[in-house]
Amino acid sequence: MNFIELCNENLNIQDNICAVSFCNKDELVILTCTGEVLLYHLSSKKLELLFETNPNNGLKYADGGFDPTASSSIYTMDSIIVVVNDYKKHGFVLNRKEGYRLHISRGDYHANISKYPIALFEAANGDPHLIYGVDWNHLQIANLTTRQVLTADKSLIEEDAEQRHIDFYKKHKESNKLLWPRGYDYFFARLMLSPDKKSFLSAGWVWGSCDCFNLYNIEDFITNHRIKHTVIGGWEHNDRGACFVDDETVAIVYNPQEEGESDAKNAYDLRLYHTDGQGAKGIITLNPPLNLSGAELFYRTEDQNFYVFSQKIGMAVISRSGDIMFCDSTFIPKRYDDEQNLFIDYDEKRIRIFRIE
C-alpha cells in the first residue's frame, strides 16, 4: 500500500486555511482564518465565496460569535453545508438549493470538551435533515427544506425515568430524595450515522467523568416524546475514536491498561460492540502494537480495513484481523472523506489530496 497524491495546490487566497471538506468529488468547501467560506472547484481551479461567518453587518454576539481561528469542522451533503466551531457555541447552515443561510448555536456548558454534535441525513422523500446540538443534553432534528424543527416539543426526560427513580431511591433515606423525574443527564458530542442512516451514535460522556457512547434510532427520536437510547458502552474519559463497521457493529478504540486490566500485554486494541446494547462482541488485537491515543478511526467496507491517523502514529491501515497493513508516521492527514475515500491535508494556503492503494 502507498499514498497516491491527486492534488497539490497553492490557492490564490489572502488568508490561511482553517478547515476543508469535500462537497462532491470535484468541489471542496474551505473555511479561512478570517471567516470566509469558499467553494473551490478542483477541475477549473475556480474559487467562489459562499458566505462570511462574521460579516460586517452590525450584528454582534456577547461571546464574540463564531471564531474562524478555533478548531472547526465542515459537514456537507449535496446542497447543504454546515460549518461549526468544534468546541465553542456557534455555527452556520447553508442550503444552496433553497438559497438561505442559518445561524445555529448551543449552550456553553462544557462545550470546550464536547465536540459540537452535527449529522446530516436524507429522509425517504429526499429532504435533507440536520441533527444538531442546542445544549449539552439537548439535540434537535430539523427538515432543511421546510426549516421545520421536527423535535421542537420533545421532552428532555428519558423514557421510564419515573420507574428508574423509584427503584434507585428505594435504597436511600427520604431526606436524600430530589424532585423527579430529572432531565436527561448526558453530554452529547461527536455524532456518527449508521450505514443505513436509520440511527446515530453519540460519542459523548457522563459525569464521573467517563466516555459514554449511546445509540439513538432516528425515527424514534423524532416521534417519541421521551428520549430513548441504547448504551453501547462506557469507559475512561479520553475522547476515544469510534466508527460503525456495519449496522449491527461499532468499533471502539480501547486501552485495557487504562481500563484497569493490569494483566494486559498490549496498550491498545479495537473492541467491537453490538449496536443493540448486548455489549462487546469481539477484540481486534493489533500486530504490531500501535498507540491509538487521540486517533481518528474509520472503517472502509469495500476493503474491510480500518483507517487510523493521529499526531502520534501518522497514518495506518489495520485489517479486520488486526494486522498493520500499512503505516507511515510522516503523513498525518487532517481529514478523511469516507464517501470519496480520499484524505485531505492542508497548511497555510496549500491543499493536498491523497488516496491509498
Residue with cell 497514518: 315
Give pLDDT, residue 177.
Answer: 76
d(CA 235, CA 260): 10
pLDDT tens readout for residues 110-146 = 999 999 999 999 999 999 999 999 999 999 999 999 9
d(CA 310, CA 329): 9
Please give the residue that has the higher pLDDT: either 169 or 344.
344
Q: Residue range 305-329: average pLDDT?
A: 96
Strand order in the sheet with 17-24: 17-24, 27-32, 36-41, 47-52
Give pLDDT, residue 175.
Answer: 76
Give pLDDT, residue 57.
Answer: 67
Q: Residue range 268-285: average pLDDT?
A: 96
Residues of the chain above pLDDT 90, percent: 87
Q: Residue range 101-112: average pLDDT?
A: 97
Yes or no: say if 72 and 31 are a contact pair by the CB < 8 Å rule. yes
Yes or no: say if 81 and 23 are a contact pair by the CB < 8 Å rule. yes
d(CA 152, CA 328): 47
Q: Within 13 Å of residue 139, how many CA atoms lie on the same side as its CB?
A: 31
d(CA 64, CA 51): 18
- From 261-275, 327-341, 342-356, the region with the lowest mean pLDDT: 261-275
Give pLDDT, residue 64.
Answer: 87
Q: How confident is the model at residue 49 (pLDDT cuts 50, 70, 90)?
A: very high
* pTM exceeds cut of 0.85: yes
d(CA 282, CA 284): 7
d(CA 8, CA 42): 10
Give pLDDT, residue 217.
Answer: 98
Q: Residue range 78-95: average pLDDT?
A: 98
Q: At 19, which helix (H) or strand (E)?
A: strand 17-24
Residue 172 has pLDDT above 80, yes or no: no
Give pLDDT, residue 265.
Answer: 74
How far is the CA of 47 from the CAs of 13, 55, 83, 248, in angstroms?
Answer: 9, 19, 18, 41
Closest CA to 234 of 296, 270, 280: 280
Q: How confident is the model at residue 185 (pLDDT cuts 50, 70, 90)?
A: very high
3-state secondary structure of 179: coil
Q: What is the mean pLDDT of the chain?
A: 95
d(CA 200, CA 226): 17
Neighbours of 243 (CB within 10 A): 22
Give pLDDT, residue 58.
Answer: 61
Give pLDDT, residue 324.
Answer: 97
Please give the residue that has the higher pLDDT: either 57 or 63.
63
d(CA 31, CA 27): 13
Q: Residue range 39-48: average pLDDT?
A: 96
d(CA 105, CA 66): 9
For 175, the grid coordinates are 431526606
Closest CA to 250 of 193, 209, 207: 193
Beta bridge partners of 298: 307
Instruction: Note the helical H segments in 41-122.
Output: none
Q: How confident is the model at residue 39 (pLDDT cuts 50, 70, 90)?
A: very high
Handedness of CA 291, 293, 294, 299 (dihedral sign): positive
d(CA 309, CA 289): 14
Residues of the chain above pLDDT 70, percent: 99
- From 1-5, 235-239, 267-271, the region with the lowest mean pLDDT: 1-5
